[in-house]
Amino acid sequence: MKVTIVGAGNVGSTCADVIASKSIAREVVLLDIKEGFAEGKALDMMQTSTTLGFGTKIIGTTNDYTKTANSDVVVITSGIPRKPGMTREELIGINAGIVKTVSQNVLEHSPKTIIVVVSNPMDTMTYLTLKSTGLPKNRVVGMGGALDSSRFKTYLSLALDKPANDIQGMVIGGHGDTTMIPLTRLATYNGLPISDLISKNDLENVSNKTMLGGATLTKLLGTSAWYAPGASVAFLVKSILNDEKRIIPCSVFLEGEYNQDDICIGVPCIIGKDGCEKIVNIDLDDQEMIKFADSASAVRKMNLAL
């Protein structure tokens, strides 16, 4: 299997490193517009293969899309990252042009690929990619919910002082500080409702920390996070390449699901070799449905800026 990652910045290179070190793909192509940047990152990663014990081939290229030919999955991370005080929404103007150009270029050489969108604002960039390319909706997937859910489970594990791998939790809605919806009611620890294990105030605190997870890291780091985003992308790519049929919250195109139409927003999806193979309908309560509708309205307002 072959994966192309467009954008060799922190998120893109971390994604490539995880995919290679875990032998998720046979070949990884890292592409960037900055001269020599992707080539240097690829060479550096390749020099870890003997010590880490992987056989994935990593190729770097400066804007040569011919090297991306026949990719099974293309990940778009390119665009400017957030700076402290910036919202994801403020990136629309610059990143929209980049994402549209990139998606057209990769499809010229990999017409059957599945596109995973990471660039912010992710829901709007996913919608743009789908509309501008005309691809079937299953082949354009936005990675946001996977990252938000990993942050949610991390904060839950800290609140419970229990292993994160024993916790199940999901975040749906828009990938934004005020639009994501941590499903605290449905979160469990080894099958036990977490709402029975910690106080309502603690659970609300976890929810708030999750929603501000990206902004918190941006303030601490001076730029967008990369380890968790890169690993979350690799997790999603792995489910596609291995046809794992995992349920992963992703930003996909809705046509009536969750009472929404003509929008890309985070919902639970079965992710396999064909991308988003099915949207899973969770029985949300009235309050959760109101939050989801509000989140969709906010995402639609961002889409108007395209």
Span 144-162, pLDDT tens digits: 999 999 999 999 999 999 9
pTM: 0.94
Which residues are catalytically annotated? Answer: 175
Question: What pLDDT, on a 0 to 100 scale, did the predictor assign at position 306?
Answer: 74
Q: Is the pLDDT of residue 38 over 80?
A: yes
CB 171 within 8 A of CB 295: no
* Class at the top of the CATH hierarchy for domain 145-303: alpha beta
Q: Which letter does DSSP use for residue 256 in this model?
A: S
Residue 240 host element (H or E): helix 227-241
* Class at the top of the CATH hierarchy for domain 2-142: alpha beta
Band of the pLDDT at 2, cuts 50, 70, 90?
Answer: very high
Question: What pLDDT, on a 0 to 100 scale, did the predictor assign at position 85?
Answer: 67
> Where in the chain are the domains?
2-142, 145-303
Distance CA 126, CA 115 (A): 9
Band of the pLDDT at 223, cuts 50, 70, 90?
Answer: confident
Coil, helix or strand for 168? strand
